Amino acid sequence: MKIVVLVKIVPKQIEFDRLEKRIVRSKEAIINPNDLIALGNAIRLKRKLGAEIFTLTMAPNSYSSLLYSLYDYGVDRPILLSDKAFANSDVYATSNVFVGFLKMFVPDFSFIFTGAFSSDGLTGQLAGEIAEGLGVPFLSNVLKIEKSGNDFRCLREKESVIEEFSVKGRAVISFSINSDLVALPSLYEVYRNDKRELEIYTNSTINLPEDKIGTKGSKTIVKDIFEIAQEKALDLITEEGHSVITKILEEMKE
Amino acid sequence: MKALVIFENRLPDLEKVKKYFTDIFYISLTNKSNAHIVPHADIKTSDEGVSFITENVDIFNSDAIIFSNEVLPKEIASKIAFKFGLGVIAHVANFSSDNSSIKGVVHSWQNLGLIIEPIRKPGIFIMNALANSLNDSYIQPQIKPFKSDQLVELISKTEKTTTQEIKSRIVIGIGLGVSKELLSKIFELSELIKAPVVCTRPVADLGYIDRKFVVGDTGISIYPELYIALGISGASQHMSGVFAKKIIAVNVDRNAPIFSKAHVRINQKVEDVLPKVVEWAKNS
């Protein structure tokens, strides 16, 4: 059984450069926290069922050292997709990169696991787009996944209900931030006597056409970045605010 | 311009949608809602939703496809986006347009806004779901079929218990602007005025309040008459779960984004306001 966990490297800090009108991402980076939830669920299945865990990341080569640390969590094969051609990809173009790689190099995956969203992107759309590209079902907001006979059972959390699904076959699963499992480094994994290497692939190996990746492959453009103006700053209450609150609460009693 | 609006139980902000689109076609994912087309049975999975929409509607005969940001519509949005090579813009707070192109205005981290344009039509926009329902009585729903999902089967459905707890007229929200020392006063007020306490994600991550009381993108939604937001900056990730008739915001930062959403804007320290409200509640 092969489980591929998508892991994103995100900046530790994001700031807005008012002069240049652009978002400045700090050089210091971390593994997207939500992806550790996806990884935790994958490691759990590895321990129960003996799955082989891959991680797949699209990032500049400079973040390799962060990805080596994934061995300490129990990952079997961390993989980095790195190429200038992938830069400035939106969700659609990024999906093309992952789908292209997976079809070529891990066509026999059982599951693709992802976190709910990345801390720097927030869209939460990548998992569904990859599922469509691979022609498999997609379930989001999953709290838990368990084997049940020949199938897998997933608990999906919606706005006011929790649904249990039986998944027959492969799927892309994105995990809710409320899922209780977070991957942690394990002493056993740290001292595991394996040859540790990071597999790095460029577009010359994956061979995706230019119009599917990067800026040319993207389906959205950011036209402007601005600071949201405070329209009503002048009606701020700066003293005796408690009286305003108590008056409203009093009126609600009536 | 024409828009398809796709929702499960709650619609996006129709006031904003109607400002930019004169021709709106509503598609419900449940059999029970009012819409131009409804499915023969409730849609349960994203593949069922893709089948239902694409086999019954010509999506290219629209300028925009607007999905509410409920769990299932969002899943369907991402699948349709890839299937047809369409741009998808999430967390859309509003629209903007010039000539015939429509763009999404996204409220991002801190106080940042982004204007994002899909490169071709229709663009896919995911907007916050509100607690409204479609009251257009002239709509005669057509019931349409869809292919049942053979690979993913719904086994059971259970009501979440927290939604029972947050059906209160008044709710108090806590953000990072509230120090740990104030928590006991807040819970005291909560008890006195019978208002449950919710929080932002970072407050739950600090362990102050159980994660099940997080409101927003990664938590629950609340629909009180009054929301008292204490030390909450007003980031879209939290406010996307707040559907209150009236919002009182207390924040020491005069530039806090919440002041653009609040009806009552108190620019003071929470510790200067809260004890006097608690005192009043004890005596009233």
Closest Cβ opposite residue A228 in set B9, B86, B113: B113
> Which residue type sits at A81?
L
CA distance B258 to B104: 20
| Contacting residues for B35 by C-beta, under 8 A, at least 6 apart | B7, B26, B27, B28, B134, B139, B141
CA distance A92 to A183: 28
Is residue B106 within 8 A of residue B136, CB to CB? The reply is no
pLDDT bracket for residue B168 (50, 70, 90): confident
pLDDT number for residue A229: 60
B184-214 residue pLDDT tens: 999 999 999 999 999 998 899 888 898 889 9
**A-chain residues within 8 Å CB-CB of B230?**
none
CA distance A90 to A215: 8
Size of interface A-B (CB pairs under 8 A): 258
Does B157 sit within 8 Å of A163, measured CB to CB?
yes
Task: Please provide the size of chain B in residues.
Answer: 284
| Contacting residues for A104 by C-beta, under 8 A, at least 6 apart | A206
Alpha helices in A69-201 (DSSP H): 91-105, 126-134, 187-190
Closest Cβ opposite residue B226 in set A220, A224, A248: A248
Q: How many other CB atoms are there within 10 angstroms of residue B96's CB atom?
A: 14
Beta strands in B119-241 (DSSP E): 123-127, 142-144, 152-159, 170-174, 197-199, 226-230
Does B265 sit within 8 Å of A232, measured CB to CB?
yes
Closest Cβ opposite residue B155 in set A130, A139, A166: A166
Task: State both tokens at B73.
Answer: 């519509």
B83-93 residue pLDDT tens: 999 999 998 98
- Inter-CA distances, A10 with A25, A140, A163, B237, Å: 9, 21, 31, 18
- The ipTM of this complex is 0.89
pTM: 0.83
pLDDT bracket for residue B162 (50, 70, 90): low
Closest Cβ opposite residue A236 in set B81, B152, B265: B265
Q: Which residues of B250-273 are buried (b: 16+ CB within 10 A; e: fewer)?
A: bbeeebbbbbbbbebbbbbbbbeb
B111-159 residue pLDDT tens: 678 899 999 999 999 998 776 666 666 688 899 999 999 999 999 999 8
CA distance A244 to A247: 5
CA distance B254 to B1: 38
- Rounded to an integer, the average pLDDT of B207-231 is 88
Supply φ then ψ for residue A39, to 5 degrees.
-65, -40
Does B170 sit within 8 Å of A252, measured CB to CB?
yes
* Chain A closest-CA separation from residue B49 CA (Å): 11
Closest Cβ opposite residue A165 in set B86, B90, B155: B155
**A-chain residues within 8 Å CB-CB of B120?**
219
pLDDT number for residue B165: 53
Q: Is B269 on the interface with A (CB under 8 A)?
A: no
Does A164 sit within 8 Å of B273, measured CB to CB?
no
- Rounded to an integer, the average pLDDT of B239-255 is 89
**Is pLDDT of B108 > 80?**
no
Interface test with B, best of A117, A129, A154, A167 (most B CBs within 10 A): A129
Task: State both tokens at A60.
Answer: 């500049």
Is residue A129 within 8 A of residue B82, CB to CB? The reply is yes
Comparing CA positions, the residue from B71, B242, B222, B221 lying closest to residue B157 is B71
**B-chain residues within 8 Å CB-CB of A158?**
70-72
Q: Is B170 on the interface with A (CB under 8 A)?
A: yes
Closest Cβ opposite residue A244 in set B109, B114, B264: B264
Nearest CA in chain B to A225: B114
CA distance B17 to B21: 6
pLDDT number for residue B10: 86
Does A242 sit within 8 Å of B276, measured CB to CB?
yes
Task: State both tokens at A106.
Answer: 């891990």
Comparing CA positions, the residue from A70, A137, A65, A57 lying closest to residue A97 is A57
- Residues in B 77-96 with any Cβ partner in A closer than 8 A: 77-83, 85-91
Q: Is B226 on the interface with A (CB under 8 A)?
A: yes
Q: Are strands B88-98 and B101-107 parallel, antiparallel or unpaired?
A: antiparallel
What is the average pLDDT score of chain B?
89
| Contacting residues for B152 by C-beta, under 8 A, at least 6 apart | A137, A139, A165, A166, A167, A168, A171, B44, B45, B47
Q: Which helix (H) or strand (E) holds B3?
A: strand B2-7
- Inter-CA distances, B159 with A10, A160, A164, B163, Å: 35, 6, 12, 8
Could you state, in chain order, the average pLDDT of each consecutive group of 10 residues for chain A (254 residues)? 95 73 76 93 94 95 90 94 93 96 97 88 87 98 94 92 95 90 84 83 94 94 76 73 94 82
Is residue A73 within 8 A of residue A186, CB to CB? The reply is yes
